[in-house]
C-alpha cells in the first residue's frame, strides 16, 4: 500500500498514487524542452545562447521573432493539442473504447462543415474573425444532434458511436459539396483549415484560447472522478449510485466543447484526440488524474512537434501542423489497430 | 437495518411483460435465493429490486419507501449490486476497483477519508484479495475476479447486497468459494443477501429463504425444505426429480430424472 | 426466384430509360430509342444519348450493383450489419491512392488513375479484412466500425495533407472526393465494368456457402464448408466489386451499407434470394440518385456521392434506431 498516499486536511481528502506522477513530471520536462526547441528552431535557427539573449530582449529583431512569432504560435499549438487530448480522453472513457475520438464521433466533422460553410459563404463579408465561433458552434451542434439522435430512453455508447459515424458521413458529404461547388481559392484555404494548422498564431488568439481552455479545465476537474466511473458498466455504475445518463450527457458536452475550442483555433486536426490519450494510457496504466494530465501534456507536445516539423522540414514551405500530426499519429494508430486485432 | 420488498410489480421489455403483479418481502439479515427456470423473470426481478429497471406498475420499497423517490446515491449507500457479467475498465487495479465502491460515500471535498481507506482494506481482507490488490483486474482468474467484484460491493458497506448469478462461469471449487464468502458476510457482518442462483442444490445449501419464480410470479417461498419438494420442482422446472435429505448438511437434495424415466 | 426479381427488373429498366431521358435537356423515350438503335450522325440528341448519357447510365448501373453486393458480402463475412465499403475505409483508401498518384505525377492518364484507385481500395480492403478476421468471434460490431472510421480518418488526413502540399492536384481529384458517375467515357471504364460483372457472376457459386457462413464460422466448419478458402474468395470478390465501384465513381457513401438491409427486408435471409435483389436495388438506387443529382439544381449538378449521403444517412440512422429496439 506504500505507493498509495492520502492527503487529508479536515473534511478534505484525496488518495494520491505517487508513482505515475514521476512520469508525468518527466514528460512535463520533455514538453518544456520541446517548447524551447520550438522557440529556437525555424527559418533562423538560434543557438541556446542566442535564444536566451533573444528572450531577454523582447524588442530586438531576434526577440521579436521569438516573442511575437514563435512563442504565441507554439503556445497556441500546445493549447490546441492539450484540449484535443482531453476531449479524446473523455470520449474514450464515456464510450468505453480506446478508438473513440472527436474525429470518429462527428464532432470534428460538425466543426469542419461549419468552417467550410463559413469560408464559402461568409468569409468574403466578415473576414476570418468569426471563424472560431462558427467552428466551435458546429462542433457543439453536431455533438447535440448525435446525442439526441442516439437517445432512446437513455443513450448507450454503441448507439452514440454509430450515430456519430453516420452523422460524420453526412456532414462529410455536405463539406465536400460545398468544397466542390465553391471557387478553387476558397477550396484551398478551406483545405488548409481542414488539415489543421496554427499558422500566424498571435497573442490575442493565445489569450482567448487560454481563457476558454482554463474554463473547460475548471469544469472538468471535479468531473474527472465521474469520468472514471463512466467506464464502468451501466448496471455497476447505477449500483454505486451514479446517475449514468446525467454523467454521460455532461461529459459529452464537455468533450465536445473542448474539441470545439481546439478546432476553432487549430482547424480540424485529426488523430491528436485519438493518439495522445492512448499513449498516456500506456505510460500511466491506472485511470486517474495522472493519466488525464499525461494525456494533456502529450497532446500539447504532439502538436508543438508537428508544427515545428511543418515549419522547419520543408523550408521555405510552411506546412500545416496537421500533416505532421497525421504522419506521427498514423503509424502509431495503425500499430494500435493491428495489436488490438491480434 | 434495511428491508426491501416489491409491491404489485409489473414490468417487462418493450411490449413483453415479464413480471406480473408480483409482490415479495425479503427477510432481513438472511440469505435469500431466487430460483426458477430460464426466462421465468428471476433476473428481471433482481434488476427491478436494484432499480435498474423501472416498473410499469407497482413499486419496489426500501424500508417502506418507494426506491425511485430516493436519489440513486442514497440508495447506493444501503444497497449494493453485482450484475451478471460486470466489465472492468481497462487497466484498473483490484484496489482501484474496490475503491470505486466507496463512491456513494464520497463527495467532491472528501474523496479518500480514513473511513474509505479502512473499508477498502477491510473489503480486501474479507475477500482474501489483499495480495492481489495491485494486480490489474483483466489479469485475474475467473474466481479471483469474482472475489474482486464482491470486494467492491463489500467496500460499498451496505446492509443489503444483490447479486445476479455470482457463480456463473465458475468451476465447482470457485462456486463454493464465492458462496462461502457470501455466507460469511451474512453471518459475520449481518448483511442481507439476495441473489439469483442456477444450481438448485447449492441454493438449498446456502439459502435461508428460497423464492421460486414461475411465469413472472412468485410461485412459492420459504425455507428450502418447504419449497424444494418433488411436486414443487415439477411445477417450477417442469422436471421429474426426487428430493432427498442431504446426508451431511440436512438440506434438500434434488436428484433430477430424465423425462422418459419414471421412478 | 425469378418471380421475385421480375418486378425489380422492370423497375430497373424504367430507371435506365429515365436516366437516358433526364438531364438539362429532357428527351422523350422515342428519341432515346431512335438514338440507340437508329442513330442519325447529325442529330445532337442522339449524340448526347450515345455519349454522355449512355456512359453515365451504365456506370451508375454497374457501380450501384457492385456496391450493393459488396456491402452484402462484407456484412455476411464480418457478421456485422454495418460493414460496408464506405464505413470501413475502402473508399478513403482508394481516394488516398489517387491523391498520391496525382501529387507524384501531376495530370494522369485515365488508366493509371484507375489502377491506382483500385490498388488503394484493395490495400484498404485487405487491411480492414485482416483487422476484422483476426478475432472474428470476439470483435464487437463497435470495434470494427471504429477501426473503419479511424482508418477513414487516417486516409483522409493523408489525402488532405498531400493536397495542401500540392495545390494543383486538388482540382484533379475533387471528382473522386465527391463521387460522380459523369465524365467517365466508356472507353476508359469498360475494363472496370467487365471486372465488376465478372465478380458479380462469380458470386453465384458462393451463395449457398455464404448461407452457412452467416450462421457462424464454427458452424460452417462443422457443416463442412472450407471456411478459410471461402473467406479468401469473398475478400477477393469484395476487392473486385468495391474497388471497381470506387474507381469508376469515386466516393459514394451509404449505398453499400443500406441496400443489403433493404434487400434482406424485402426478400428472405437466404443469400440466393437477397443478394440478387441487392444488386438490382443498388443499381436502381444509384440510377435514380444520378437522375436527381443532375436535375435538382440546374444548370449545376450535385455530386452523386453527396446525393447518396443525403438520402443514405437518414436511412442509416433510422436503421440504427430500429436496431436499438432489439439491442437496447
Residue by residue, pLDDT tens for chain A (342 residues) are 446 778 888 778 888 878 888 999 999 999 999 999 999 998 888 889 999 998 998 888 888 889 999 999 999 999 999 999 999 999 999 888 777 888 878 888 899 999 999 988 887 788 777 888 898 899 999 999 988 888 877 778 878 888 888 888 888 888 888 888 888 778 888 888 888 888 878 899 899 999 999 999 999 998 988 888 888 888 889 988 888 889 989 999 999 999 999 998 888 887 899 889 989 988 988 888 899 999 999 999 999 999 999 889 877 778 888 888 888 887 777 777 667 654
Q: Is residue C163 part of a domain?
A: yes
State the pTM of this model: 0.85
List the chains bordering chain A where 3 or more Cβ pairs fall under 8 Å. B, C
Which residue range(s) make up the domain with C142?
Answer: 63-202+234-327
Closest by Cβ to C310, choosing from A104, A173, A181: A173
- What ipTM was predicted for this assembly? 0.83
Q: Is residue C259 part of a domain?
A: yes
Closest-CA residue to A272 (of A195, A212, A214, A204): A195
Tell me which chain B residues have a C-beta less than 8 angstroms from the C-beta of A240.
76, 80, 100-101, 103-104, 152, 156
Closest by Cβ to B110, choosing from A13, A239, A281: A13
Specify the CATH superfamily of domain A19-28+74-329.
ABC transporter involved in vitamin B12 uptake, BtuC (1.10.3470.10)
User: How many structural domains comprise chain C?
Assistant: 1
Tell me which chain A residues have a C-beta less than 8 angstroms from the C-beta of C251.
176
Interface test with A, best of B111, B150, B153 (most A CBs within 10 A): B111
| Strand order across the B65-66 sheet | B16-25, B4-13, B57-62, B65-66
Cα-based torsion angle of the residue sequence A330, C152, C63, C193 in order, rounded to the nearest 10 degrees: 0
CA distances from A259 to A216, A311, B175, C148 (A): 10, 24, 47, 21
Tell me which chain A residues have a C-beta less than 8 angstroms from the C-beta of C306.
173-174, 176-177
The cell numbers describing B127, all together, are 475477500
Is residue B81 classed as helix, strand or coil in its secondary structure? Answer: strand
Interface test with A, best of B52, B97, B106, B113 (most A CBs within 10 A): B113
Closest by Cβ to C157, choosing from A104, A170, A330: A330
d(CA C236, CA C39): 40
d(CA A309, CA C299): 45
**Regions in chain C scoring below 70 on pLDDT:** 1-2, 106-108, 110, 133-142, 323-328
Is residue A206 classed as helix, strand or coil in its secondary structure? Answer: helix
CATH number of the domain bearing residue C269? 1.10.3470.10
Angle ∠(A115,C83,C312) on CA atoms, nearest 5:
50
Hey, where are the domains in chain A?
19-28+74-329
| Strand order across the B192-196 sheet | B79-82, B160-164, B192-196, B31-35, B209-214, B217-222
pLDDT digits (tens, 9 = 90+) for C158-210: 888 788 777 777 777 777 777 888 777 887 888 889 999 999 999 989 888 89
Tell me which chain C residues have a C-beta less than 8 angstroms from the C-beta of A176.
177-178, 251, 303, 305-306
Closest-CA residue to A25 (of A301, A297, A282, A218): A297
Tell me which chain C residues have a C-beta less than 8 angstroms from the C-beta of A156.
328
Interface test with B, best of A13, A228, A240 (most B CBs within 10 A): A240
Whether B125 contacts chain A with CB within 8 A:
no
CA distances from B261 to B229, B234, B236, B237 (A): 18, 14, 19, 16
Query: How buried is A204 (Cβ within 10 angstroms: 0-12 exposed, 13-18 middle, 19+ buried)?
Result: exposed
Amino acid at each position: 500500500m506504500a505507493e498509495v498516499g492520502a492527503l487529508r486536511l479536515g473534511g478534505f481528502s484525496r488518495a494520491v498514487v505517487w508513482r505515475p506522477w514521476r512520469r508525468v513530471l518527466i514528460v512535463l520536462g520533455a514538453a518544456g524542452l520541446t517548447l524551447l526547441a520550438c522557440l529556437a528552431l525555424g527559418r533562423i535557427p538560434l543557438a541556446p545562447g542566442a535564444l536566451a539573449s533573444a528572450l531577454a530582449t523582447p524588442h530586438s529583431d531576434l526577440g521579436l521573432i521569438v516573442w511575437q512569432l514563435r512563442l504565441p504560435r507554439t503556445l497556441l499549438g500546445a493549447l490546441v493539442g492539450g484540449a484535443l487530448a482531453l476531449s479524446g480522453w473523455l470520449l474514450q472513457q464515456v464510450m468505453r473504447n480506446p478508438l473513440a475520438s472527436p474525429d470518429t464521433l462527428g464532432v470534428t466533422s460538425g466543426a469542419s462543415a461549419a468552417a467550410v460553410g463559413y469560408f464559402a459563404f461568409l468569409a468574403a463579408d466578415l473576414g476570418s474573425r468569426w471563424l472560431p465561433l462558427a467552428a466551435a458552434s458546429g462542433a457543439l451542434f453536431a455533438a447535440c444532434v448525435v446525442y439526441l439522435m442516439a437517445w432512446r430512453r437513455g443513450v448507450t455508447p454503441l448507439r452514440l458511436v454509430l450515430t456519430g459515424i453516420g452523422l460524420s458521413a453526412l456532414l462529410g458529404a455536405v463539406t465536400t459539396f460545398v468544397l466542390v461547388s465553391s471557387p478553387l481559392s476558397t477550396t484551398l484555404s478551406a483545405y488548409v483549415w481542414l488539415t489543421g494548422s496554427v499558422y500566424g498564431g498571435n497573442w490575442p488568439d493565445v489569450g482567448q484560447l487560454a481563457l476558454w481552455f482554463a474554463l473547460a479545465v475548471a469544469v472538468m476537474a471535479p468531473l474527472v472522478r465521474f469520468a472514471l466511473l463512466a467506464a464502468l458498466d451501466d448496471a455497476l455504475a447505477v449500483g454505486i449510485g451514479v446517475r449514468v445518463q446525467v454523467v454521460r450527457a455532461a461529459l459529452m458536452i464537455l468533450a465536445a466543447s473542448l474539441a470545439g475550442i481546439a478546432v476553432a483555433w487549430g482547424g480540424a486536426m485529426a488523430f491528436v484526440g485519438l493518439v495522445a490519450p492512448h499513449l498516456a494510457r500506456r505510460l500511466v496504466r491506472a485511470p486517474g488524474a495522472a493519466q488525464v494530465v499525461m494525456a494533456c501534456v502529450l497532446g500539447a507536445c504532439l502538436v508543438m512537434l508537428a508544427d515545428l516539423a511543418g515549419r522547419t522540414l520543408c523550408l521555405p514551405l510552411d506546412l500545416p501542423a496537421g500533416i505532421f500530426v497525421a504522419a506521427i499519429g498514423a503509424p502509431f494508430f495503425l500499430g494500435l489497430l493491428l495489436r488490438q486485432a491480434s | 437495518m434495511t428491508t426491501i420488498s416489491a409491491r404489485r410489480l409489473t414490468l417487462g421489455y418493450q411490449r413483453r411483460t415479464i413480471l406480473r403483479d408480483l409482490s415479495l418481502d425479503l427477510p432481513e439479515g438472511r440469505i435469500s435465493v431466487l430460483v426458477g427456470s430460464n426466462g421465468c423473470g428471476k433476473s428481471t426481478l433482481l434488476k427491478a429490486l436494484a432499480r435498474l429497471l423501472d416498473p410499469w406498475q407497482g413499486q419496489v420499497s426500501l424500508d417502506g419507501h418507494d426506491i425511485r423517490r430516493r436519489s440513486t446515491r442514497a440508495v447506493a449507500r444501503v444497497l449494493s449490486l453485482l450484475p451478471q457479467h460486470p466489465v472492468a475498465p481497462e487497466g484498473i487495479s483490484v484496489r482501484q476497483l474496490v475503491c470505486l465502491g466507496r463512491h456513494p460515500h464520497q463527495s467532491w471535498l472528501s474523496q479518500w477519508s480514513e473511513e474509505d481507506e479502512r473499508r477498502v482494506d477491510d473489503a480486501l481482507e474479507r475477500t482474501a484479495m489483499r495480495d492481489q490488490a495491485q494486480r490489474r483486474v483483466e489479469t485475474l482468474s475467473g474466481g479471483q475476479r469474482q472475489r474482486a467484484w464482491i470486494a467492491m460491493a463489500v467496500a460499498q458497506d451496505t446492509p443489503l447486497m444483490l447479486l445476479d448469478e455470482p457463480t456463473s462461469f465458475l468451476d465447482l471449487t470457485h462456486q463454493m468459494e464465492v458462496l462461502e464468502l457470501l455466507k460469511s458476510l451474512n453471518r459475520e457482518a449481518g448483511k442481507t443477501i439476495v441473489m439469483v442462483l442456477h444450481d438448485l442444490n447449492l441454493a438449498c445449501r446456502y439459502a435461508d429463504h428460497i423464492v421460486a419464480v414461475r411465469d413472472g410470479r412468485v410461485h412459492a417461498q420459504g425455507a428450502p425444505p418447504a419449497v424444494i419438494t418433488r411436486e414443487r420442482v415439477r411445477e417450477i422446472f417442469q422436471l421429474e426429480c426426487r428430493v432427498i435429505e442431504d446426508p451431511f448438511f440436512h438440506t434438500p437434495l434434488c436428484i433430477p430424472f430424465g423425462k422418459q424415466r419414471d421412478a | 426466384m425469378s418471380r421475385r426479381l421480375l418486378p425489380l427488373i422492370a423497375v430497373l429498366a424504367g430507371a435506365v430509360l429515365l436516366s437516358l431521358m433526364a438531364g438539362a435537356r429532357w428527351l422523350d423515350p422515342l428519341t432515346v430509342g431512335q438514338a440507340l438503335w437508329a442513330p442519325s450522325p447529325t442529330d445532337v440528341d442522339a449524340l448526347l444519348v450515345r455519349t454522355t448519357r449512355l456512359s453515365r447510365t451504365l456506370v451508375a448501373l454497374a457501380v450501384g450493383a457492385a456496391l450493393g453486393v459488396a456491402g452484402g458480402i462484407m456484412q455476411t463475412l464480418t457478421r456485422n450489419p454495418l460493414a460496408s465499403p464506405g464505413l470501413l475505409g475502402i473508399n478513403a483508401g482508394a481516394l488516398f491512392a489517387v491523391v498520391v498518384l496525382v501529387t507524384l505525377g501531376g495530370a494522369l492518364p485515365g488508366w493509371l488513375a484507375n489502377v491506382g484507385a483500385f490498388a488503394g481500395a484493395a490495400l484498404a480492403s485487405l487491411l480492414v479484412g485482416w483487422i476484422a478476421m483476426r478475432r472474428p468471434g470476439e470483435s464487437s460490431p463497435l470495434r470494427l466500425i471504429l477501426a473503419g472510421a479511424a482508418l477513414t480518418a487516417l486516409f483522409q488526413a493523408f489525402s488532405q495533407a498531400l493536397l495542401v502540399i500540392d495545390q494543383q492536384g486538388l482540382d484533379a481529384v475533387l471528382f473522386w472526393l465527391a463521387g460522380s458517375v459523369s465524365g467517365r467515357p466508356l472507353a476508359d471504364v469498360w475494363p472496370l465494368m467487365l471486372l465488376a460483372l465478372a465478380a458479380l457472376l462469380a458470386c453465384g457459386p458462393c451463395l449457398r456457402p455464404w448461407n452457412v457462413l452467416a450462421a457462424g464460422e464454427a458452424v460452417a466448419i462443422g457443416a463442412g464448408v472450407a471456411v478459410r478458402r471461402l473467406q479468401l474468395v469473398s475478400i477477393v470478390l469484395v476487392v473486385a466489386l468495391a474497388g471497381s465501384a470506387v474507381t469508376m465513381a469515386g466516393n459514394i457513401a451509404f449505398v453499400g451499407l443500406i441496400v443489403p438491409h433493404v434487400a434482406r427486408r424485402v426478400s428472405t435471409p437466404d443469400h440466393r434470394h437477397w443478394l440478387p435483389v441487392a444488386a438490382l436495388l443498388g443499381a436502381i438506387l444509384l440510377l435514380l440518385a444520378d437522375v436527381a443529382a443532375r436535375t435538382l439544381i440546374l444548370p449545376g449538378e450535385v455530386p452523386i456521392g453527396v446525393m447518396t449521403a443525403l438520402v443514405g444517412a437518414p436511412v442509416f440512422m433510422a436503421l440504427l434506431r430500429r436496431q436499438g429496439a432489439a439491442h437496447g
